[in-house]
Amino acid sequence: MELRASGFLLLCACTGGRTGLGMHSTLDASIADAPIDVASDARPPCTPQSCKGCCDATGECRDGNSLDACGVQGQACEICAKTPDSLCNKPVPGCVLQLKKCSAASCGGCCIRPPMSPVEYCSVTGRHVDACGHGWELCQACMTCKPFTLMGGTCQ
């Protein structure tokens, strides 16, 4: 039995893989040179429908919960300041600063002042539908938040 297996392997090696037993190679030169379709391996575009986090500059969906890639609902990721008072998506979406007092000097976006809280928050951009505003006014929730000048937004 061992001799037969060895002879079969030798026969295959000497004939280029053909055994002469009616088998033939199915590899055709036109198939070997054909381009490989990689579109099926491509990831879907990052959109509000496909991403619960945020979309980074390369179009990849990120979880949106880090200071390096902060955001929700398939919107563009924000890069938050790396300071001890920086938060991501707390208590509102996007980069947020936890402050003792939210003021024009400390916030270019809009302010969140929770009742009975010793701290206030600044929505840094003020351009989210859950925290829309500018000039350190109180953030508002609205259907659409349109960018306002360099910082902040206005409800539409």
pLDDT of residue 43: 75
pLDDT of residue 6: 42
pLDDT of residue 23: 43
CB of 152 closer than 8 Å to CB of 135: yes
pLDDT of residue 66: 96
pLDDT of residue 110: 94
E strands, 32-155, in order: 54-55, 61-62, 65-66, 69-70, 75-76, 86-88, 95-99, 110-112, 120-123, 127-128, 131-132, 145-147, 153-155
Please list the alpha-helical segments (H only) found in 1-76. 2-14, 29-32
pLDDT of residue 2: 43
pLDDT of residue 34: 52
pLDDT of residue 135: 85
Mean pLDDT, the chain cut into blocks of 10 residues (156 residues total): 42 45 45 52 84 95 96 93 94 93 90 92 92 91 88 89
User: pLDDT per residue over 82-126, tens digit each?
Assistant: 999 999 999 899 999 999 999 988 898 999 999 999 999 999 999
pLDDT of residue 108: 87
Whole-model pTM over 0.75? no
pLDDT of residue 151: 81
pLDDT of residue 150: 74
